[in-house]
Amino acid sequence: MGQLQGKVILVTGAGRGLGRAFAVACAEAGAQAVIVAEINEDWGRDASKSLSDAGFDAPFVALDLGDPASIGKMAAVIGERYGRLDGLVNNGAIATGIGGKGFEDIDIETWERVMQVNVRGTWLTVRACAPLLRKGVSGARVVNIASDTALWGAPDLLHYVASKGAVIAMTRSLAREMGPDGIVVNTVAPGLTLGEATEYVPAERHAHYVEGRALPRAQEADDVVGSVLFLLSDGAAFVSGQLLPVNGGFVFN
């Protein structure tokens, strides 16, 4: 029997990279259904089709985390189809192509967009899905995906770092507010992970991570999925409000 046997799991930003890896891992761990939520329709439908072709229930649902109406519509679609959620992985975020600028050079429009998607979008997704999470079997799980950049203060990325720091802080408050309903909320903070979303990152930043890790090698998406699966599982029923850095020992929590 799989780690997530019979559970209904929503993964945002599931079209590629870490999000897609989480969706595949959840399906292979026995989830009843894995909802692929994605702003890019081509990526989302491709991930959904790949999982569906493998025999999994993995519908694509359009999601723009910067649009409150889109978030509400997504939750309504899930509610109509499944009536509950047992797990939510808040992975969707703006991360690609925004780095490399010092704090004095970040434009206000980009700052606002990053905060709308990464911070407000995470909050609104939890809020929209809360009624479904309360109906989850054996207590629902929320896993917020942050970043270890918020733990070591990565330079030239202030808007992203600040947004992920906010996600870590929100996790602690959400854990207390949702705990009475039997819902646990935790954060995973990956390090720099190889994938499409990090192809733009300069080679020297990749090298900085590899050289600084206790495990001196590049980080792959598969290095993160085990921690997310655990926090979605029944084994994490009494773990809440916690931050788990997964970065090969680049920073210690």
What are the tens digits of pLDDT across the range 151-204?
999 999 999 999 999 999 999 999 999 999 999 999 999 998 887 766 666 678
253: in domain: no
198: in domain: yes
Please write the tens of the pLDDT for every residue from 195-243.
Answer: 776 666 667 878 888 888 999 998 999 999 999 999 999 999 999 999 9
51: in domain: yes
Quick count: other Cβ atoms within 10 Å of Cβ 245?
A: 22
127: in domain: yes
Q: Residue 77 is part of a domain; what is its CATH number?
A: 3.40.50.720
227: in domain: yes
68-82 vs 121-133: helix crossing angle, rounded to 10: 20
3: in domain: no
Lowest mean pLDDT among 25-39, 42-56, 95-109, 203-217: 203-217
160 included as an active-site residue: yes
163: in domain: yes
* Domain hosting residue 159, numbered range: 8-246
pTM: 0.95
134: in domain: yes
pLDDT at residue 1 tops 70: no
Number of domains in the chain: 1
Q: The tokens 């054996």 sit on which residue?
A: 138
Q: The tokens 């081509």 sit on which residue?
A: 42
Report the alpha-carbon distance of residue 35 to residue 16 in Å, rounded: 14
